[in-house]
């Protein structure tokens, strides 16, 4: 026991010496991951998308009302984040369309506004998408056109009805002023429709919002790949030392335990160094997670507590993989392949809800799936006994396997 | 201390490595074991050190069978494997601290084994910056710092320069004089000169050999089929 403690302290010293280089590597990876998290969950960025559909507008754009409408849409409406309307000639549109620079072309026929004003419905805007077949985008566009038509027709009906009532009542001098007021009211109604509709996502895993889901996934991925970031810890290990330790009374179990505890120190140091800037961002509300809104960084510390058993389990898994692999390069490859494969199946890259039933089932049984379930349940007031048991069974299993492999290697000829 | 190995056996699937190996050593003596590569010398040493399990036999130290009581092994013997059992990132001091307390190290550095091995000259040097000779001396230092009465050495002079070999040899002579028992696996003629008894390990058996300083004769004996 004394020798094991001494060995642990020596490993801890080793970890301390390796820490600066490991932290630098971790920071580099975390900076990339942080940027990814920010892009995914930072307030407004996800909503804004970042990719805008460029739609070419050709035809009769001379009408001042239409021009005003397009300008209003591009400058004031939320759709400006997703759609860029570009006025151009037919020839320019054809060229841009051929080069793939346009998502679609909208043709405004001549005399459209006159037809709208006179209540006729024989002049139509044609929408031509770049896609060869009727995709989701085209269908949505069709729906939007339908909504716009209804809005235009209804507002025109309202204006005509109001004008007729005023004329019948002999208040002709009020018609123009009342029409302007009603027009402005209708425009206001259309342009202030930020809260007009909302896409409600039921949740990817036990009701987590997409932002929190990805937030958890990125953290789990970082922990899963901690073995790669801290691979220097597994380098320069010699079986001579393992045999020497055995001769001095520190068997495979004591060796693995001593190394594992020191390695955990390195992993927690990395996690802590990542958590501080993350907590800062949450405190400043630079990362908007719906479930944690208005609570600052407080729920994040709870999230880290929830992660604790997962850190232990993933560290044990990394230990086993490095122990099982012959040589450093094999170890790194094994870490990467296992991490990427299991992470994918457990839904760390894409929400598991997107996968077929069988894949989801397999993913749920994997250590990564057990970890995800534990964390997701933990975020909703505490993990179930089943989720906790799965994590601890995997932890014990990986640890036992690492000990077994070490034992075999010590005794190998 | 009296040491006796009795009928030690070790088999791997399809191969008998040690087939009833026996020898004995008295206090203040050195036993040398030679044999061709793969003959089982290192396996024998690692069994005696408690690293591997024997399939049969006994290893008696003052009447106690260490193979039956492996818990006693760390107290009784020091083992130096062929490769250096050191942590590369740590200094000599840190490596020594794994095996005993500060006071013992300081005592040994001032007038003990570590002083004789010259470890005091590179105490704060990280292992990865040490020469092969420094590493070997430190490895022996780690094994003997807690003052064991039996020392198992697996090719202690392999790939070392003459100065380093001499330094290790001086220490081992001093160790013997203090009543320690050395069991050494070697291919080195100079190492064999230190040995009081010499054995050849061949075909799983251990045979006594009278080494007279003629290394060519020893090599011929190793090649001989019916030795």
d(CA A409, CA A348): 34
Quickly list DSSP for chain B. --EEEEEEEEEETTEEEEEEEEEEE-TT-EEEEE--TTSSHHHHHHHHTTSS--SEEEEEETTEETTT-GGGHHHHEEEE-SS----TTSBHHHHHHTTS-HHHHHHHHHHSHHHHHTGGGGTTSBGGGS-HHHHHHHHHHHHHTT--SEEEEESTTTT--HHHHHHHHHHHHHHHHTT-EEEEE---HHHHHH-SEEEEEETTEEEEE---S-HHHHHHHHH-TT-
The number of folded domains in chain B is 1
State whether A239 and B71 contact (CB < 8 Å): no
Residue with tokens 């990814």: A36
Is the separation of the CB atoms in B29 and B182 below 8 Å? Answer: yes
Establish, for the pair of chains A and B, how many residue pairs have beta carbons separated by less than 8 Å: 78
d(CA B207, CA B219): 14
State whether B85 and A243 contact (CB < 8 Å): yes
Residue with tokens 């380098």: A235
Residue with tokens 């080195």: B188
Encoded tokens for B104: 């013992």
What distance, in Å, lies between the first and last C-alpha atoms of chain A? 27
How much is the pLDDT for A196?
46
State whether B83 and A13 contact (CB < 8 Å): no
How much is the pLDDT for B207?
83
A413 touches chain B (CB under 8 A): yes
How much is the pLDDT for B203?
82
Q: Which residue does chain A place closest to B148, by CA atoms?
A: A248
Spatial strand order in the sheet of A53-59? A83-87, A53-59, A104-108, A126-129
pLDDT band for position B196 (50/70/90)?
A: confident
* CB nearest to A14's CB, from B43, B80, B90: B90
How much is the pLDDT for A38?
67
Q: Which residue does chain A place closest to B13, by CA atoms?
A: A413
State whether B51 and A246 contact (CB < 8 Å): yes
pLDDT in tens, chain A (413 residues): 777 888 888 888 888 888 888 888 777 777 776 676 666 655 455 454 445 677 888 887 776 667 767 776 666 665 666 677 788 888 888 888 777 778 778 787 777 767 766 666 666 667 676 655 455 566 666 666 666 666 666 777 777 788 888 888 888 888 888 888 887 777 766 655 554 444 444 444 556 777 778 788 888 888 888 888 888 888 877 788 888 888 888 888 999 999 999 999 888 888 888 888 778 877 777 677 777 777 777 778 888 888 889 999 999 999 899 888 888 888 888 888 988 888 888 888 877 766 777 888 888 889 998 888 888 888 777 778 888 899 999 999 999 999 999 988 887 75
Please list, in sequence order, all residues whose beta carbon lies within 8 angstroms of the beta carbon of residue A17, skipping any fewer than 6 positions away.
B89, B90
Query: What is the per-residue burial (b if ≥16 Cβ within 10 Å, else e) of B3-31?
Result: bbbbebbbeeeeeebbbebebebeeebbb
Q: Which residue does chain A place closest to B88, by CA atoms?
A: A236
Q: How far is CA A234 from CA A19, A104, B24, in A?
A: 13, 55, 41
Alpha helices in A225-356 (DSSP H): 226-229, 239-247, 252-283, 298-324, 328-345
State whether B46 and A243 contact (CB < 8 Å): yes
Query: What is the per-residue burial (b if ≥16 Cβ within 10 Å, else e) of A28-46?
Result: ebbeebbeebeebbbeeeb
What distance, in Å, lies between the first and last C-alpha atoms of chain B? 31
Distance from CA of B22 to the nearest CA of A (A): 21
Distance from CA of A242 to the nearest CA of B (A): 8
Q: Which residue in B45, B48, B98 has the most chain A C-beta atoms within 10 A of its own C-beta, making it the best mutation to test that interface?
A: B98
Section B85-98 average pLDDT: 88
ipTM of the shown complex: 0.84
Show which residues on chain B lie within 8 Å of chain A, measured between beta carbons.
Answer: 12, 17, 43, 46, 49-53, 71, 73-74, 77, 79-90, 94-95, 97-99, 128, 142-143
Quickly count: other Cβ atoms within 10 Å of residue B185's Cβ.
25
Q: Which residue in A7, A10, A244 has the most chain B C-beta atoms within 10 A of its own C-beta, making it the best mutation to test that interface?
A: A244
Restricting to A residues 222-251, those with a Cβ less than 8 Å away from any Cβ of B are: 236, 238-241, 243-249
State whether A239 and B12 contact (CB < 8 Å): no
Spatial strand order in the sheet of B56-61? B15-25, B3-12, B56-61, B64-65
Q: Which residues pair with B199 in a beta bridge?
A: B33, B208
* CB nearest to B74's CB, from A6, A238, A247: A247
Q: Which residue does chain A place closest to B90, by CA atoms?
A: A14
d(CA B59, CA A176): 115
Encoded tokens for B19: 């087939």
How much is the pLDDT for A148?
63
For residue A18, which residues of chain B lie inside 8 Å, CB to CB? Answer: 89
pTM over 0.80: no
For residue A239, which residues of chain B lie inside 8 Å, CB to CB? Answer: 83
Distance from CA of B170 to the nearest CA of A (A): 23
Domain that holds residue B155: 3-223
The CATH number assigned to the domain with range A52-191 reads 3.40.1710
* CB nearest to A241's CB, from B74, B82, B87: B87
- In this model, does residue B119 exceed pLDDT 80? yes
pLDDT 10s digits, B9-33: 888 888 888 888 888 888 888 888 8
State whether B99 and A243 contact (CB < 8 Å): no
State whether B99 and A247 contact (CB < 8 Å): no
Structural domain spans, chain A = 2-45+203-411, 52-191
d(CA B84, CA A187): 83
DSSP three-state, residue A58: strand
Which stretches of A110-230 are assigned E, i.e. beta strand?
126-129
Q: Which residue in A247, A250, A255 has the most chain B C-beta atoms within 10 A of its own C-beta, making it the best mutation to test that interface?
A: A247
């Amino acid at each position: 026991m004394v020798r094991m403690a001494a060995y642990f302290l020596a490993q801890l010293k080793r970890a301390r010496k390796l820490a600066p280089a490991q932290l630098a590597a971790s920071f580099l990876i975390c900076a990339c991951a942080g940027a990814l998290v920010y892009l995914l969950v930072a307030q407004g960025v996800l909503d804004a998308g970042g990719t805008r559909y460029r739609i070419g507008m050709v035809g009769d754009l001379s009408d001042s009302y239409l021009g005003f409408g397009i300008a209003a849409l591009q400058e004031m409406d939320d759709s400006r984040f997703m759609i860029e309307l570009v006025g151009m000639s037919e020839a320019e549109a054809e060229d841009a369309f051929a080069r793939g620079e346009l998502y679609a072309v909208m043709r405004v026929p001549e005399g459209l506004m006159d037809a709208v004003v006179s209540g006729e419905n024989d002049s139509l805007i044609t929408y031509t998408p770049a896609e060869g077949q009727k995709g989701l985008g085209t269908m949505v566009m069709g729906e939007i056109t339908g909504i716009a038509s209804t809005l235009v027709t209804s507002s025109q009906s309202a204006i005509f009805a109001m004008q007729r009532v005023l004329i019948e009542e002999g208040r002709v001098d009020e018609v123009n002023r009342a029409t302007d007021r009603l027009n402005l009211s209708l425009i206001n109604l259309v342009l202030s429709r930020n809260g007009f509709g909302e896409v409600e996502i039921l949740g990817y895993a036990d009701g987590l919002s997409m932002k929190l889901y990805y937030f958890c996934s990125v953290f789990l991925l970082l922990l899963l790949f901690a073995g790669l970031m801290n691979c220097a810890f597994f380098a320069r290990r010699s079986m001579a030392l393992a045999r020497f330790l055995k001769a001095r009374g520190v068997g495979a179990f004591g060796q693995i335990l001593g190394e594992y505890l020191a390695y955990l120190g390195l992993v927690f140091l990395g996690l802590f160094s990542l958590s501080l800037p993350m907590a800062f961002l949450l405190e400043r509300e630079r990362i908007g997670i719906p479930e944690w809104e208005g609570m600052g960084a407080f729920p994040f510390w709870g999230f880290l507590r929830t992660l604790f058993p997962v850190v232990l389990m993933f560290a044990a898994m990394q230990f086993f993989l490095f122990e099982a692999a012959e040589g450093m390069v094999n170890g790194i490859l094994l870490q990467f392949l296992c991490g990427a494969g299991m992470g994918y199946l457990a839904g760390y890259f894409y929400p598991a809800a997107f996968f077929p039933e069988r894949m989801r089932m397999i993913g749920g049984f994997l250590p990564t799936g057990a970890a995800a379930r534990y964390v997701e349940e933990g975020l909703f007031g505490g993990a179930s006994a089943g989720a906790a048991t799965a994590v601890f069974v995997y932890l014990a299993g990986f640890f036992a396997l690492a000990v077994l492999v070490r034992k075999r290697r010590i005794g190998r000829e | 201390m009296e040491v006796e190995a009795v009928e030690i056996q070790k088999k791997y699937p399809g191969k008998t490595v040690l087939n009833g190996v026996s020898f004995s050593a008295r206090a203040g003596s050195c036993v040398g074991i030679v044999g061709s590569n793969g003959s089982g010398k290192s396996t024998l040493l690692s069994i005696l050190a408690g690293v591997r399990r024997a399939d049969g036999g006994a290893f008696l130290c003052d009447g106690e069978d260490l193979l039956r009581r492996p818990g006693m092994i760390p107290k009784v013997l020091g083992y130096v494997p062929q490769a250096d059992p050191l942590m590369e990132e740590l200094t000599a001091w840190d490596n020594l601290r794994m095996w005993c307390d500060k006071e013992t190290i300081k005592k040994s550095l001032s007038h003990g084994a570590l002083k004789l091995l010259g470890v005091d000259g590179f105490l704060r040097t990280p292992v990865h910056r040490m020469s092969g000779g420094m590493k070997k001396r430190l490895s022996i230092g780690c094994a003997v710092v807690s003052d064991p009465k039996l020392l198992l050495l697996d090719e202690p002079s392999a790939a070392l320069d003459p100065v380093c070999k001499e330094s290790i040899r001086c220490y081992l002579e001093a160790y013997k004089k203090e009543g320690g028992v050395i069991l050494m696996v070697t291919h080195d003629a100079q190492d064999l000169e230190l040995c009081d008894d010499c054995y050849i390990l061949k075909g799983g058996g251990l045979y006594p050999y009278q080494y007279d300083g003629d290394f060519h004769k020893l090599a011929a004996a190793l090649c001989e089929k019916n030795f």
